Amino acid sequence: MTQFPFRPIVFISHSARNDPAAHETLANLEEYLNTNGFDVLLDETRLEGGEPWRNCLHTWMGHCHASIILLTPKALTSPWVLKEATILSWRYSLSLGKFPLLPIYLGLRSSEVEQSKLFSPLALTEIQGLKGLEGTDLFKAIADLLAPLRLAQAKTPQTLLEEKIAEWLARVNRPALLNEVADRLGEDLGPWNPKRDLPSKVAMLLLQAPLEKLADGLNPLLGAIPNEGVRAIIDMLRGSWVNRELAGSLIIVSRGPKGTRAAALNASEQEFTATAVIARATAGYPPWYFIRLSNAAGEDSAGSLKAQVRAALEKTVGSKKPAIIDSFINKKEGREPLFIVLPPPEGRQELPDEADIEALMSDYPSCTLFLLTGTSLPPDEKLPKVQRLRPCLEPSDEMDAYVTFRDLELRTSR
């Protein structure tokens, strides 16, 4: 086998169980790519069926340098493929189209994907895919499209975040203590065995750990590294409890046409949850700018909300000149979304109405409105222009996360 100095990681999403033709294509594609300088991440357990979603898949999709979605008739009915496609579309949007995402059409027309109620919001048909190819012709075409990655040696957003966490973990002088952290988390990376040092592997495990294990996993670090370092790690883990599919949906909304970018999430803790969701959506590195509004008061609710946005922007840029504010927004939009976070209603207050939302979108069409709605989402007929983020948050998950991170911060402030 030819030796390659850098082997890009390629994640393949599929629904090949009980589909002999798709399974054969999948197996041959994996072998071809592995032979031609790529490391393929493939969830083989799904071929057996009955396996639950595994946390390590989030790590795989966060680390991959490119991804392939095998679009078959069966894939369009698979909740796993939908979940993966949403997360991979998030990676594509986050990179402004630089992350290679290759839809491969097998026995399926692009119009069928476009007409799918579940898959059409992902806009996969707008991404250059491969159609009408099979066998070696298909595999070679894929390898040729991905070949530039072997020279780039690019780092993914997740890798950058892990490196920052690992910098603090490297200050732990006892490997046994880091192994204890890994044991307490009880996580693994599946069949993938990346060549990483111990601090880097523990950083990977921390980022994929379920919330109920996170606090216990961090316990051994208290006193082993400065509180400043533990607090920094906690900040970088703040979004780790948020479903990546949900976070990916927010980024997809933020890349929509100007004047349509509005999303709603059933959440009750504005500062904590909005920060966590946006951190997750950005892979935590670097943090993105967003404006938090308070509930509008008085008869002119739209005017109150717009005044809050204007005041926040004026404070950020240090000027009241519209040209300077517009320049700031335009520069931000070229690199990252700019979010306006509207709080959940309190007491007898109601959600902003359609006129309020339209007024904000009209004045700030480049921004993304992120509306928190309390414990439940409004019915579809209310605020029809605001897209609902899925999957919904479980109120108990939001409160558990809030309490967990609050307690962790209290313990490091002593």
Dist. CA 348–CA 351, nearest whole Å: 10
pLDDT digits (tens, 9 = 90+) for 159-179: 889 999 999 999 998 899 999
What is the structure's pLDDT at 330?
85
What is the structure's pLDDT at 134?
92
pLDDT digits (tens, 9 = 90+) for 252-302: 899 889 999 999 999 999 999 999 999 888 876 556 789 999 987 667 889
Dist. CA 273–CA 265, nearest whole Å: 10
Dist. CA 7–CA 56, nearest whole Å: 20
Architecture of domain 244-394: 3-Layer(aba) Sandwich (3.40)
Dist. CA 156–CA 92, nearest whole Å: 11
pLDDT digits (tens, 9 = 90+) for 36-88: 999 999 887 544 555 555 678 888 898 899 999 999 999 999 998 999 999 99
Domain boundaries, the chain: 9-152, 157-237, 244-394
149 near 100, Cβ under 8 Å?
yes
Handedness of CA 203, 229, 217, 273 (dihedral sign): negative
Please give the residue that has the higher pLDDT: either 49 or 10: 10
Calculate ∠ Cα 350-354-359, nearest 5°: 110
Radius of gyration of the chain (CA): 22
What is the structure's pLDDT at 34?
92
What is the structure's pLDDT at 346?
83
Same fold, 9-152 and 244-394: yes
Please give the residue that has the higher pLDDT: either 156 or 286: 156
What is the structure's pLDDT at 284?
64
Dist. CA 376–CA 396, nearest whole Å: 12
In CATH terms, the fold of domain 9-152 is: Rossmann fold (3.40.50)
Of all residues in the chain, the percent with pLDDT exceeding 90 is 64
> Is pLDDT of 345 > 80?
yes
How many distinct helices (H) and strands (E) make up the chain?
18, 9
281 near 91, Cβ under 8 Å?
no
Please give the residue that has the higher pLDDT: either 203 or 43: 203
Calculate ∠ Cα 128-92-374, nearest 5°: 130
What is the structure's pLDDT at 287?
63
Residue 320's nearest CA partner among 329, 328, 311, 332 is 311
Minimum mean pLDDT among 146-160, 233-247, 269-283: which range? 146-160
State residue 410 phi and psi, 5-degree precision. -65, -40
DSSP letter string over 128-150? --B-S--HHHHHHHHHHHHTTHH
| Predicted structure pTM score | 0.84
What is the structure's pLDDT at 4?
65
The b/e string for 216-230 (b: 16+ C-beta within 10 A; e otherwise) is ebbebbeebbeeebb
The b/e string for 340-360 (b: 16+ C-beta within 10 A; e otherwise) is bbbbbeeeeeebbeeebbbbb
Residue 325's nearest CA partner among 347, 338, 340, 310 is 310
280 near 244, Cβ under 8 Å?
yes
The b/e string for 277-294 (b: 16+ C-beta within 10 A; e otherwise) is bbbbbbbbbeebebbbbe
DSSP letter string over 33-65? HHHTT-EEE--THHHHS-PPP-THHHHHHHH-S
The average pLDDT across 146-155 equals 84
> Is pLDDT of 372 > 90?
yes
DSSP at 348: T
> Is pLDDT of 405 > 90?
yes
State which of 40-49, 186-195, 207-216, 276-285 shows the largest mean pLDDT.
207-216
Residue 164's nearest CA partner among 283, 60, 285 is 285
Q: Tokens at residue 45, please? A: 């357990």
